[in-house]
Amino acid sequence: MVDGTPRIKVRRVEKPPYVVDESRLRRFNSRNIVFERVMWDPSWEGYRRMYDEKVLDIIAEGKPGYSRLDFALSYASWIVRDGFEGGLSWTKIKPYRPPLVSVGIDWTKMRYDVDDPHEMSAYIKWAGRLIGASLVGICKLNRLWLYEDVEIPERFENVIVMAIEMDAEAIETSPAVPATIATGVGYSKMAFVLACMGEFIRNLGYDALQCGNDTALSIPLAIDAGLGELGRNGLLITPQYGPRVRLCKIFTDLPLESDKPIEFGVREFCKKCKLCAEHCEAGAISMDDEPSFEGVCRSNNPGALKWYVDVERCYLFWCENGTDCSTCIKVCPYNRASMLTRASGDREGVTPGGILKGML
Ligand code: SF4
Ligand code: SF4
């Protein structure tokens, strides 16, 4: 373990800061996501186990942070994500005002000419921040990151990746329920942000496929889009918030300029730190000094150089805990470092540049 706070000095780089063995890395099949395997894979202990199966017993124990109130708010925090179908829409959510459509006026179907993808990207980032995304990055779609069982047309070549910050104080309570509330709020905010951004793009006459964790691996896309690097805990580490974010993305044919990836020394720091592995109650995070290309369970995708997280163990801990867990987010020094340095955080690229200059 290393002491202290990592220094965050971000530099833009030409290539994403990950290493893959191209002879081994395959597209990941979404059937192997641990939550999917709960439904179909009797070969592991988590089969047909729901992680809220013990909630009543846990409430009865009376532990702080596991009360009926905490669970009630936790379930409520997910409601926009779970109850609002527009959050993950791939088509127009709301038709333009019917009276005008009936007389043939629907300007939202007219394609907006994008003369300058750089300016368009600046506007997208400004819009993303305005509607609630904490970070917005753009990359070309590397189709290796699409799930093996998903295809989307070639014209969707750009990806807008957005990160939503989760509440720091609530995450500090992990593995108790308030941390889960922060997670649920992150997912519900994600639905709002996705819907506004997707509909904005469709109002410009382009297509937008709004995605949460579905359709493709979010973390490598976020790395490609310059939002952060991969940590030992298997999560995206951002300079601004550490791993304390949820990720979502939109695939689009809107012409955009990609961001360059960033590097700020996460892998080297993780080699010595190991705090997430030491605090993980499931023993799911590797203590090895060096990352590897080998997965440790069926829900990993071997062929990328990283510390593979045993997500089977992680899920089984959630079942015992009665709720999910954010301890590997809570203890990460980048979480703390990012809280300290946020005031001077990187807001690069979020102002709309020339597009709004004339208006401000
Ligand atoms: S979420 Fe909790 S159980 Fe899962 S890897 Fe992180 S610390 Fe371990
Ligand atoms: S807590 Fe884990 S992910 Fe965070 S810096 Fe330490 S080793 Fe890396």
Q: Which ligand is nearest to the CA of 313?
A: 1
Q: How far is CA 184 from CA 224, 245, 323, 341, in A?
A: 26, 12, 11, 26
Nearest-CA residue for atom 8 of ligand 2? 270
| Domain count for the chain | 1
pTM for the full predicted model: 0.93
pLDDT at 95: 75
Q: Calculate how far, in angstroms, residue 347's C-alpha sits from the geometric centre of ligand 1.
A: 30
Tokens encoding 188: 């519900």
Q: Which ligand is nearest to the CA of 230?
A: 2
Contact between 161 and 222 (Cβ < 8 Å) = yes
User: Does residue 356 sit within a domain?
Assistant: no
pLDDT band at 183 (very low <50, low <70, confident <90, very high): very high
CB atoms within 10 A of CB 57: 9
User: Does residue 360 sit within a domain?
Assistant: no
pLDDT at 355: 38
Q: Calculate how far, in angstroms, residue 277's C-alpha sits from the geometric centre of ligand 1.
A: 9
Q: Which residues line ligand 2 (CB under 6 A)?
A: 231-233, 269-270, 273-276, 331-334
Domain that holds residue 143: 11-93+114-349
Nearest-CA residue for atom 3 of ligand 1? 314
Nearest-CA residue for atom 4 of ligand 2? 332
Task: Specify the residue for token string 């199966």.
Answer: 53
User: Does residue 1 sit within a domain?
Assistant: no
Q: How far is CA 182 from CA 30, 170, 178, 211, in A?
A: 25, 6, 7, 20
pLDDT at 5: 80
Q: Calculate how far, in angstroms, residue 256's C-alpha sits from the geometric centre of ligand 1.
A: 36
Q: Evaluate if residue 343 carries a pLDDT over 60.
A: no
Q: How far is CA 104 from CA 91, 100, 112, 320, in A?
A: 20, 6, 18, 58
**Interval 46-71: pLDDT, tens:** 999 999 999 999 999 999 999 999 99
User: Does residue 121 sit within a domain?
Assistant: yes
Q: Which ligand is nearest to the CA of 307?
A: 2
* CA-wise closest residue to 266 among 6, 16, 2, 5: 6
pLDDT band at 23 (very low <50, low <70, confident <90, very high): very high
Q: Which ligand is nearest to the CA of 334?
A: 2
User: Does residue 98 sit within a domain?
Assistant: no
CB of 282 within 6 A of ligand 1: the answer is yes
Q: Evaluate if residue 117 carries a pLDDT over 80.
A: yes
Give the whole-angstrom CA distance, residue 250 versus residue 62: 42
Contacts of 89 (CB under 8 A, 6+ apart): 195, 198, 210
CA 35, distance to chain mean position in Å, is 16
User: Does residue 131 sit within a domain?
Assistant: yes
Q: Looking at per-residue confidence, does 263 or 336 come out higher?
A: 263
Q: What is the mean pLDDT of residues 282-299?
A: 98
User: Does residue 161 sit within a domain?
Assistant: yes
Q: Evaluate if residue 104 carries a pLDDT over 90.
A: no
Task: Specify the residue for token string 């540049």.
Answer: 353
Nearest-CA residue for atom 1 of ligand 2? 332
